[in-house]
Structure 1
């Protein structure tokens, strides 16, 4: 009996889809069907040239059902979901009802109540929802979590001062796409920040207090307080906030985590984390709905919280953004 698993892919033309294609191939499995309303999916030829492809969901649905009913070794075991954020919960439901497990990109859903409803469908179907929380698999983040746990075990009152900065420049296309619509993407905190918020919750434990200082179309910032840590965070898709030395190198992305003024190096290794996520899913060690929910709830709270622009604890880049906006 073949041990090769069959995958289908929704959102094959998206930015993140090649990471999933590569992960399926690297784990020795295959994509047998893919779907996207956009037909610019030539990348499939580099991974699975024999995959069926559909631009209409209805035909994709029919094909998946046909594969399920036929006994020819192509029944879909997993459906990987790389569609726009606001469609995730619908496509997860489809996967579960099609008799497949769902593997869904971040954020799993836009609103926490969407995930809570999925828990019922997951139980009814007997299938499972897996989500990509790749920073939990990053060696530097794993080491940081252990370091924090050891310090708190030695001193329950230990307190860490942390700064998180993530700037990933985006052009005008970003704001004309679904990513620029808050109701579809969840806004900047969800679209580029949810896996960082998940990481913070995973490292420092349950949230005690959220203070949002700034949330606009291109910038988000605030302070998260945990029992043993205070975290100033800053997210942006605006290249103007990149440090001068990053811009001088022609780079468009900047990631930084400091703890007590010490830089935590985690820039390397990002490209392999999807493959490692798939390995863990196939081995039965995935992250599910319960794992994803705390960060989804936090992002929703950030999105709906009043903005407290005046604070001595404000992130320096957020302070700059507030002053720039006022000029």
Structure 2
């Protein structure tokens, strides 16, 4: 219980620090948001119109008052309104976030399903054919940028073989089969670069635990090889795999921009790019804040799961 409480307090403190830092960073960026918004047509706005817009947006108030309002709104789940159309930012994020999470979690599932068995086989056949083959393929997967993988998949399966559409989106409730077809290629594009990470970590962990004294002791007592692998090797090797996978999942939250762009997947990253292009500061602030919150929550879940897999962590 103390372990969970410590991790939860640490996560809350991190979120508070991130929120404060994000507020300060966007307020020290050069340029007046009101002036930038009014300059969209290419003509210099009048000082009166700039001041009026600053007052409307609350930018003329002291910084500390803006900060108090900002933190109070966050606690209420209010991320403000877009500078472009005045629409609530939280509503658009709630609509787009599940699409990005679905993309990332599907890619992670593919990476685990492919990476863990291949890593286990490579470790058990160290120096053999399968080890060399899987290691070479993983090095190749790590070296290819994700947008190149996506482009090659579109070229092969959409343009040459004409098996699936090049991109798009249909909600699952509207057409489940078509939704999964649209989801498969972008998820696989991410999984190509994520699978080698899982493979290498599994292979390294398995090789490390196979040399432990208590594994040799279990074998000496007559325990079957399958029981040794399942109960003593694979279970203990899951802890570092979970940690690395959790960190990469958090990174992918802000790293799916190119994938969503290539496959026209309407997720959170596409909204972030659009907000940056339009200098929509509240939207940028809200999206980055949500990504940071999810990153911290994912790491909190990883810490708790790590403590569950390895009880020694809870007492350190």
The TM-score with structure 2 as length reference comes to: 0.21
The structure with more helix, counted as a fraction of residues: 2
Larger radius of gyration: 2
Structure (1/2) with the larger strand percentage: 1
Which protein, 1 or 2, shows the higher relative CO under an 8 Å CA cutoff with sep ≥ 6?
2
